[in-house]
Chain A
Amino acid sequence: MSNFSAQRVRAETPEFLRVINDHPLTYLDSAASSLPPRAVIEAMSRYYELRHANVHRGVYQTANEATDAYEGARATIARFINAPGGADEIVFTKNATESFNLLAKSWGLANLGRGDVVLISEMEHHANIVPWFQLREVTGVEVRFLKVTDDYRLDLSTLDEDLAGVKLLSITGMSNVLGTINPVRELADAAHRHGALVAMDAAQSVAHAGLDVTALDVDFAAFSGHKMLGPTGIGVFWTRQEILAAMPPFLGGGGMIADVRTDGYRPATGPSKFEAGTPPIAEAVGLGTAARYLESLGLDHVVAHETALTADALTRLAHHFAGRVHVIGPATTQARGGVISLDVEGVHAHDVAQVLDEFGVCVRPGHHCAKPLMRRFGLAATARASFGPYSLTADTDVLIEALEHAVKLFG
């Protein structure tokens, strides 16, 4: 029996105390950034109040506590994503974007040259596109795109041909625009049959569809703390231990070395090799707390809750605005998460979002850092509403009321 309660999550999330334009906050922008619960904020405060010191250096008590807190977060994340090799496979970065840059500029530079192919898709976030174009400029690697079908799914009809010559398939687990959840295990199996490795952009899926890197059988994963109820400024790069050991260092400096002399340096081993400089310690503590918080809610319950909200919202939007408001994404919750991109006929997404703000409704207008996907569907911008574990059907009520106002205002 589930004891998950979205009402309780909301009560534990301080930002919901805000009043915007005389309305309570209707936060529908969790796909951009989720709201942290009080537990996360307090864990970071406690760290700064009681045990802040630099990690991996001092011999004094608080320095040991800081190191334990930081390394404890690494172990928590390893458990949270079921990393087969444990904490030694978890590299802390700034965000998923930095994780992709680490992948492209370390592993990619060493392994992807002229004649090789990296296969991505039209529904990728710029974070999983631009680093590959940058690598192409340096090594001449080919960047190939899987197409997206008219019903907002990856076109897998020619997957075997698309995988020819591919050394890396780098694919999102869940589109931040469409809500589409991709069949990552099936894709990983196909890619492995062709001898390719598989990287997964888990930024959207980690807190809304779950992430089990062992079950999905991927080789790399990247995600951000702030999209899973954690703080900004911290992200995760995961890969299997043997791949990590073979990857050349990325950023250079303190903390990532075994030895430095006047004639050169030797890099550290393990995740440290990729964590140059003082890391985001408080943020790691916050991220570890967020992962434990999600575990305490039960991610299955979170996913079920958000799926129910999405099904309800899709039905009601279709009913209220037939022909006037188009959902840019799958029409049912089959392999679909709680991201609902809206195209309102005759009303630009910025104007939609502006009117919604008047009702205290937070949605995101724009291209969502996925311009190839927007071009694919001939759109400049959509207004995107997205759910989190604290979302309620009452949020959809306000969304619909505000959308009605926007449609009326612009005639």
Chain B
Amino acid sequence: MSNLDDLYREIILDHYRSPRNRGQLATPPAHRVEGFNPLCGDEITIDLLVDDGVLVDLKLSGQGCSISQASSSLMSVAVKGKSRDDVRHAIASFKEMMLRHESALSDDESKNQVARLRELGEIAALQGVVKFPVRIKCATLAWNTLAQGLDELAL
């Protein structure tokens, strides 16, 4: 079951069973953004409360598989209270982690990736998803939806 263990790390199962930052915020002042995965029916709603360029609070609702739920929960913990630049940086790092590399990485690229994974902290538990190409879209749904919300807020 080694493949499955890579995918379903304990921390992912924990966030799936006990998702963080679930719920809704009053809109306004919060901004609501919705994301869909039309292939599998996963849905996510994110309420974003931004003040002076800082993501003061966010709440998540919707439904989906363990990977999409754990990814959104881990994301919410990572970006809550962060500045616009930090949130954008986290999104970029996560999406980089979800890229499939056609060939082996060079040493520098590998070191770079390891450094970025350390930066991501717990979220790095999701790196096993890359081995399961059809699940990548599950993991990235929340992050793409968050990016869309920032775009809508012109952040």
Contacts and interface: CB of A to CB of B under 8 A. Distances in A.
Interface stretch (A145-153, A226-234, A349-357): A349-357
B42 interface: yes
Interface string A335-378: 00000000000011111001100100000011100010010000
Interface in A11-58: 21
A410 B17 CA distance: 8
Given A348-B64, A354-B132, A358-B1, A410 B13 contact: yes
A366 B40 contact: yes
B1, B3, B7, B65 pick with most chain A CB within 10 angstroms: B65
B7 A366 contact: no
Interface residues of A, number: 20
B132 A381 contact: no
A381 B13 contact: no
A409 interface: yes
B41 A381 contact: yes
B154 to A, nearest CB: 32
B101 to A, nearest CB: 22
A164 interface: no
Contacts of B41: 366-367, 371, 374, 380-381
A65 B94 CA distance: 58
A23 to B, nearest CB: 12
Contacts of B39: 366
Contact of A380 (B13, B43, B66): B43
A351 B42 contact: no
A355 to B, nearest CB: 6
Given A350-B65, A380-B63, A409 B4 contact: yes
Given A348-B64, A380-B63, A354 B7 contact: yes
11 contacts: A348-B65, A348-B69, A350-B138, A351-B67, A354-B132, A358-B3, A367-B40, A380-B41, A380-B63, A381-B41, A409-B13
Interface of B: 1, 3-4, 7-8, 13, 16-17, 39-43, 63-67, 69, 132, 135, 138
Q: Which 6 A-B pairs have the closest CB atoms?
A: A348-B65, A350-B65, A380-B41, A351-B66, A367-B41, A358-B4
